[in-house]
Amino acid sequence: MQTSSSSMPLPKRLIGFFAVMIALTAAVAVLGVILGMVGSFVSNGGGGVTWTFLTEFPRNNNTEGGIWPALAGTTLLVLLMTILGVPVGTATAIYLTEFAKQDSWFARSVRFAVNTLAGVPSIVFGLFGVGFFIQFMGNGLDSWLGTSSFGDGSLLWSAATLAVLTLPVVIVAVEEALRAVPRDLREASLALGATRWQTITKVVIPNAVTGILTGSILAVGRGAGEVAAILFVGVTYSSESIPTAVTEKFMHLGYHLFVLSTQSPDVDLTLPLQYATTLVLLGLTFLLNLTAILIRSRLRKR
Amino acid sequence: MEWSIRLVASASIVVIFLILLFVMREAATLFVGKSATTTQATSTGAPTADLAPESYNPDAEAAPASTEPDVYNPEAQDPAAAGSQGEPGAPGQFIYASKNPKYPEIYNPDTGLLPTDIDEVVEETASADTLAEQSVLSKLGGDAWQPVGEIPKFGVKPLLIGTFKTTSIAILIGAPLGILAALYVAFFARRRVREIVKPAIELLAGFPSVVIGFFCLVTVASYIQDVTGAPYRLNAIVGGIGLALAVIPIVFSIAEDALSAVPKTLREASLALGSTEWQTAYRVMLPAAAPGVFAAVLLGIGRAFGETMIAIMATGNAPLSSFSPLEPARTVAATIGSEMGEVVWGSEHYGVLFFMGVMLFVFSFGLNAITELYVKKRLIKKFQGQ
Amino acid sequence: MAKDLPLKIETHDFSFFYGAKQALHNITIGIPERRVTAFIGPSGCGKSTFLRSINRMNDLIDGTRVDGHMVVDGADVYSKDVDVVTLRRRIGMVFQKSIPFPKSIYENITYGLTLNERRSKSDLDSIVESCLRRAALWDEVKDRLHNSALGLSGGQQQRLCIARAVAINPDILLMDEPCSALDPISTGKVEELITELKDTYTIVLVTHNMQQAARVSDFTGFFLMGSLIEFDRTRTLFTSPSKKETEDYITGRFG
């Protein structure tokens, strides 16, 4: 018997070649589109991203000038969102990893809810923002406090909507970090006579800080780019000033791009602005995601 | 301490109920008779009462209304709104300078007007009274979506067709690409290559959907029009490609997880039987990961039909009852996204939009329940026997 | 020793490296055709690594390297023009854990057969039956051939894996501790099967169980720290080992 000649007939070898090539082609195609997209934004928008573009107000019905209020509005929005959402997400993750019996009815329900929440279309969160935050909470607060500032779209309600939307992102990231904390560490702490709560605050959370950070960054990345959910809960296409109160409306990079590219009278005129805005928005989310990915991969190696 | 953290942890469950409750509550205005008292008005300030009394005529729509067989049948011609196109940010207008001046890409949902038929509006005779008295549900079952006008029409059929059309295109493009790329990364790529390709594709998941929508609007649309010669620059294919870009990273990362989770021993066993790497990948590993790959496609579908910004920006956003991929489409999500900002809160139109929100929620909930309860069990069963 | 028997597998100064770490040291051995050869030794001694070198399964691990010669049927397995796939089709392998594919019993058997050629249904049916009969599994599974193989017991799964390996009609069967995860009754059945199969196949068996080696094998090799300490007829090796290390091991002084 020979070992050297192949038993595989030529047609089969061809099929094998194509089977690998088609998978390779798919991967290359996806990468190509990503590179093409980024390349087009960089080459068309790169020149437009200047210091004045970042720091000026838009002028002349958004057809000239910069994106400062949109940049500032987005930043304020994600900061407020983080303050509202990350503690809840972290607490949920702590509950799921540290307290819950993994197959208990309650833990399974929470998990199911988190996964469901991750799959709900963002536009539904937008409707939820209108129905719950503005109509129910806002109007409720107004009639209770005798004010008239809560019953309308605002920075606060947009941030709250996004906090709900990004909740699963935070929970999943923090949970992963908490699971990476070795069991021995917990047991060592408990064996020294620490209570469960002391173990969590003194041992588990300090070890999971990077995870909480990753979760927050990912959430911020998601929130910064999310437009559909805030369309009717407080974003505005033009603003004379940076919001100074949480009940004010605000400008947002993503919405700004949306308005410029679809709703302005002469879209071609503002095309350079659109590209520059896209580049800023993409650069922002890209940086955030990249940071999170790097932190995460370091965490996984540990 | 434990009970308080348990309370916070239940937030996710509470939110699910709150979403259902409060989105439904707003939709409920439809069914409690409040709708009869509200009038339709838009924030553009176009006084609808001043409109020419043009109303829906089923006969007129059934017959070809104009020389263009696929023309969207306008219900109201609103010169005021048409004139207001000059206002920046006038809501609901989606304008894009077309390469082909014959078909300026203007669709104004306030008037239900497509550019091609501006000059070809057919005068319709009234059947207003009968329509106004129709029940909400039979209105939703209608054939046309023209929410603004003297007799608003809330037929969701064109929207469902549009959603179906764009979602199908997105999945037909996105699922094979995502799965094959996952197969490549999981089994064929060398480790160096894998460590670059995988995060690169996953980075696409972080692209804001407005950015993808913008890319489709300015780049993909021109390219597709050059290739296909489609009359409308923005159409279901362009939208479908945009949605596919949103679907690919989801399908990719879930499928890749599922493929990598197949025990390495299976690969060894297959190779030991004298099969090649590709035979092992396609005949053993892929079938073994099938439930996970199926879940990836389901979640991809969920992403595609619920995606709003890409659908608004790249599909042409016209509620046509056409299955042609080269014609514009309007999805349910895009309808909510583009009209919610202009409705009178509490009006019938408002209720209908919320009702569609409930539809989206229920559908995504169902998809998720299938993946959670069925697919994961299948996956576990597959590797543990019984 | 077995100079009178034709040799199926021969190695000369065969060494194996995981990166910088040498796992096998200059192994020289001749494994006779149509006999059962067992390798024993403490865990980590290299016996499995040696087994997996025969059909080049170690190629799958990054950063491995071999030195010396591994000759099967007179041809060097590691020479450049060898097609690994063809090689593996001639050398069947059964693993420590039974690894049925998540497919039906029937599909598990036919998997290797249909990789490169089409075969008629009746052809496949008869091969499936004969392989399952050879593996002494036919009577237990004949009514549920199209059920998932994962529904079988551990012992049945392992016999299915043997049937699957036999189906592609190899000359050599490599068995890597095939009974270590099985209960005594299943082990007995697999051992019985090995004895029956040795008329047709050259069987190389790695086991941590000396009684098993004594029961089923004709020849036994003792590995220690990556070296082949002693290789002889099983009876000779167990009754009058020539090396001190072998004696220490089989009398239970270590390992």
Is residue B127 exposed (0-12), middle (13-18) or buried (19+ Cβ within 10 Å)?
middle
- Higher-confidence position of C88 and B89: C88
Residues facing C70 on adjacent strands: C11
Which residue's structure tokens are 């559908």?
A: B363
Split into its structural domains, chain C has a count of 1
In a domain, B3, yes or no: no
Whole-angstrom Cα distance, residue C28 to residue A271? 75
Predicted pLDDT of residue C3: 59
Same domain, yes or no: A172 and A24: no
Residues B40/B149, Cβ–Cβ less than 8 Å: yes
In a domain, A3, yes or no: no
In a domain, A11, yes or no: no
Same domain, yes or no: A103 and A32: no
Closest Cα to residue B240, out of B299, B173, B301, B302? B173
In a domain, A146, yes or no: yes
Sequence-distant (6+) residues with CB within 8 A of B261 are: B289, B292
Residues B291/B278, Cβ–Cβ less than 8 Å: no
Q: What mean pLDDT comes out for the span C109-137?
A: 88
Q: Which chains have 3 or more CB–CB distances shorter than 8 Å to chain A? A: B, C
Whole-angstrom Cα distance, residue A78 to residue A221? 9
ipTM, two decimals: 0.91
Residues C48/C1, Cβ–Cβ less than 8 Å: no
Q: Which two tokens stand for residue A129?
A: 């923002």
Q: Tell me how far the alpha carbon of residue C102 is from its chain's centroid.
A: 22
Same domain, yes or no: A149 and A187: yes
Whole-angstrom Cα distance, residue A282 to residue A275? 10
φ/ψ of C82, rounded to 5, equals -80, 130
Q: Which two tokens stand for residue A147?
A: 């004010």
In a domain, C2, yes or no: no
Q: Do B272 and C165 touch (CB under 8 A)?
A: yes
pLDDT one digit per residue (tens) for chain A, 302 residues: 333 345 567 777 888 889 999 999 999 999 999 999 999 999 998 888 888 888 888 887 777 788 899 999 999 999 999 999 999 999 999 888 888 887 788 888 998 999 999 999 999 999 999 999 998 999 898 889 888 888 888 999 999 999 999 999 999 988 888 888 888 888 888 888 788 888 888 888 887 788 788 888 888 888 889 999 999 998 888 877 888 888 888 999 999 999 989 887 777 888 888 999 999 999 999 888 888 878 877 776 66
Containing structural domain, residue A175? 49-301
Q: Nearest C-alpha of chain A: how many angstroms from C158?
A: 27
Whole-angstrom Cα distance, residue C1 to residue C32? 11
φ/ψ of C242, rounded to 5, equals -90, -15
Q: What mean pLDDT comes out for the span B62-72?
A: 38
Number of H helices, E strands in chain A: 12, 2
Q: Which two tokens stand for residue C248?
A: 């220490």
C230 pLDDT exceeds 90?
yes
Q: Which amino acid is at A214?
A: T
Identify all chain C residues contacting A4, using CB atoms and an 8 Å cutoff: 75, 79, 81-83
- What b/e string do you get for B363-376 counting C-beta neighbours within 10 Å, with b at 16 or more? bbbebbeebbeebe
Containing structural domain, residue C198? 7-250
B73 pLDDT exceeds 80?
no
Q: Which two tokens stand for residue A263?
A: 């709703």
Instruction: Report the half-sphere exposure of B338 (CA within 13 A, side-chain side).
Output: 36
Q: Nearest C-alpha of chain B: how many angstroms from C255?
A: 27
Residues C36/C23, Cβ–Cβ less than 8 Å: no
Torsion over CA: B222, B226, B227, B230 (sign): positive
Question: Chain B: residue nearest A14 by CA?
Answer: B278
In a domain, A212, yes or no: yes
Q: Which amino acid is at C18?
A: Y
Residues C33/C2, Cβ–Cβ less than 8 Å: no
Q: What is the CA radius of gyration of chain A?
A: 25
What confidence tier does B110 reach under pLDDT thresholds 50, 70, 90?
A: very low
What confidence tier does B365 reach under pLDDT thresholds 50, 70, 90?
A: very high
Q: Nearest C-alpha of chain B: how many angstroms from A245?
A: 22
Q: Do B382 and C168 touch (CB under 8 A)?
A: no
**Size of chain C in residues:** 255
Predicted pLDDT of residue A27: 94
Same domain, yes or no: A114 and A157: yes
Identify all chain C residues contacting B261, using CB atoms and an 8 Å cutoff: none
Residue from B16, B214, B224, B276 to probe the interface with A (highest A Cβ count within 10 Å): B214
Question: Chain A: residue nearest B183 by CA?
Answer: A23
Of A23, A99, A131, the CB nearest to B26: A131
Angle between the N-to-C axes of helices A205-225 and A253-262, in degrees from 0 to 180, rounded to the nearest 10: 20
In a domain, A198, yes or no: yes
Helix (H) or strand (E) holding C234: helix C234-239
Residue percentage of chain B with pLDDT more than 70:
70
Q: Which two tokens stand for residue B335?
A: 């309808």
Residue percentage of chain C with pLDDT more than 70:
98
In a domain, B236, yes or no: yes
In a domain, B53, yes or no: no
Q: What's the pLDDT tens digit per position in C172-201?
A: 999 999 988 888 888 988 898 899 888 889
Residue from A3, A7, A12, A15 to probe the interface with C (highest C Cβ count within 10 Å): A3
In a domain, C1, yes or no: no
What confidence tier does B293 reach under pLDDT thresholds 50, 70, 90?
A: very high
Which residue's structure tokens are 């409109």?
A: B51
Same domain, yes or no: A89 and A192: yes
Sequence-distant (6+) residues with CB within 8 A of A275 are: A41, A44, A45, A48
Residues B154/B141, Cβ–Cβ less than 8 Å: no
Identify all chain B residues contacting A135, using CB atoms and an 8 Å cutoff: 22, 26, 345
Containing structural domain, residue B288? 157-384
In a domain, B54, yes or no: no
Sequence-distant (6+) residues with CB within 8 A of C10 are: C29, C30, C31, C69, C71
Closest Cα to residue B22, out of A140, A86, A248? A140
B180 Cβ under 8 Å from any chain A Cβ: yes
Sequence-distant (6+) residues with CB within 8 A of A158 are: A77, A129, A230, A233, A234, A235, A250
Identify all chain C residues contacting B386, using CB atoms and an 8 Å cutoff: 150-151
Same domain, yes or no: A185 and A246: yes
In a domain, C111, yes or no: yes
Of C97, C152, C164, the CB nearest to B265: C97
What does each C-alpha distance from A212 to A101, A169, A187, A236, B253 come to in angstroms?
22, 11, 22, 31, 22
Split into its structural domains, chain B has a count of 1
Q: Which amino acid is at A163?
A: A
Of A40, A117, A126, the CB nearest to B215: A40
Predicted pLDDT of residue C255: 55
Which residue's structure tokens are 């129910």?
A: A136
CATH of the domain at A202: 1.10.3720.10
> Which parts of chain A are beta strand (E)?
58-59, 64-65
Sequence-distant (6+) residues with CB within 8 A of A197 are: B1
Residues 5-34 in A contacting C (C-alpha not used; CB under 8 Å): 5-9, 12
Split into its structural domains, chain A has a count of 2
Residues A277/A67, Cβ–Cβ less than 8 Å: yes
CATH of the domain at C216: 3.40.50.300
Q: Nearest C-alpha of chain C: how many angstroms from A9?
A: 7
CATH of the domain at B313: 1.10.3720.10
Residues facing B113 on adjacent strands: B108
In a domain, A10, yes or no: no
Predicted pLDDT of residue C48: 92
Residue from B309, B310, B370, B375 to probe the interface with A (highest A Cβ count within 10 Å): B309
Whole-angstrom Cα distance, residue C67 to residue C251? 33
Same domain, yes or no: A33 and A86: no
Same domain, yes or no: A26 and A64: no
Q: What's the pLDDT tens digit per position in A21-69?
A: 999 999 999 999 999 999 999 999 888 888 888 888 888 777 778 889 9
Identify all chain B residues contacting C87, using CB atoms and an 8 Å cutoff: 274
Same domain, yes or no: A179 and A263: yes
In a domain, C42, yes or no: yes
Of B274, B288, B386, the CB nearest to C102: B288
Which one-letter DSSP state was computed for residue B44? T
Whole-angstrom Cα distance, residue C197 to residue A9? 30
In a domain, B264, yes or no: yes
What confidence tier does B121 reach under pLDDT thresholds 50, 70, 90?
A: very low
